[in-house]
A and B are shown apart, each in its own frame.
Chain A
Amino acid sequence: MSNQIEKKIELKAPISRVWRAVTDYREFGEWFRVKLEAPFLPGKPVHGNITYPGYEHLRFEAVVQALVPEHLFSFTWHPYAIDPSKDYSHEPSTLVEFRLEPASGGTLLTVTESGFDKLPSERRLEAFRMNDGGWTEQMKNIESHVTQKP
């Protein structure tokens, strides 16, 4: 069993457009659903409030790692850090990497998230708890988002 997640998606948009959507903190926030307070800078932490309906009380906290123009953007974070009263900063984090490559008619984006083997087991329980009942609601949100902005 692999301890990383890898996603590949072809986007019908030039690499410069995708780079901006991924690394401009306001644009990132649009599709990732977080209101970030400052731009992404290598080695710097970024914070913001989640704007995902139903999860607005949660914070997004990450530390930017690599920022190689139109090629690689990466950050470390604590997936499912869902307890607002808990300090997750000393816990191991996972590494999220966005890799961009030109593809016919657009951009091939590869996203990997790795380091799940280092996460404490309680984190998995929290994730399941978070999804309990919230999942159906989330699916409806996405559906309405897609139908409103086709």
Chain B
Amino acid sequence: MSPRSRNRATTRRHPPAVVFAALGDETRLSLVVRLSDRQPHSISQLTHGSRLTRQAITKHLRVLEDAGIVQSNREGRESLFELHPEPIDEIRQYLDLVSEQWNQALARLKSFVED
């Protein structure tokens, strides 16, 4: 990764509450899906095909950006938005870890009560 594209989204840690809250909205989830091609998109592109206004989409993008899930770079007069999935991956990995611990504890409980 070039030093230029390393913005605050990559350096700051994001509280889980902010990431969960950012993903807990259908419009924002659909934006994440649209951005999952990992290409930079303009606000016009992201508004196209949506029933929401450009302003509304911009607001949702800023929420995602504050949670570190997307990052924007200015290109001339417009901002281009790109997915930055690390905060999502990190939370998912953490939940996988806790989940695996429960699998193991419950497997031990099973052999404990069934023998």
Interface residues of A (CB under 8 A from B): 1, 3, 5, 7, 9, 11-13, 17-18, 21-22, 27, 30-33, 79-80, 109, 111, 113, 116-122, 124, 127-128, 131, 138, 142, 145-146, 149-150
Please count how many residues in chain B sit with their CB below 8 Å of the partner chain's CB atoms.
Answer: 32
Residues from chain B with a CB closer than 8 A to the CB of A120 are 15
Q: Is the CB of B13 within 8 A of A121?
A: yes
Closest CB-CB distance, B27 to chain A, in whole Å? Answer: 16
Closest CB-CB distance, A29 to chain B, in whole Å? Answer: 11
Closest CB-CB distance, A144 to chain B, in whole Å? Answer: 12
Residues from chain A with a CB closer than 8 A to the CB of B90 are 124
Q: Is the CB of B16 within 8 A of A113?
A: no
Interface residues of B (CB under 8 A from A): 13-17, 20-21, 23, 88, 90-95, 97-99, 102-115
Q: Is the CB of B111 within 8 A of A149?
A: yes
Q: Is the CB of A1 within 8 A of B23?
A: yes
Q: Is the CB of A1 within 8 A of B20?
A: yes
A94 to B91, CA, bound (A): 15
Q: Is the CB of A127 within 8 A of B15?
A: no
Residues from chain A with a CB closer than 8 A to the CB of B102 are 5, 7, 111, 113
Residues from chain A with a CB closer than 8 A to the CB of B109 are 9, 11, 21-22, 31-32, 109
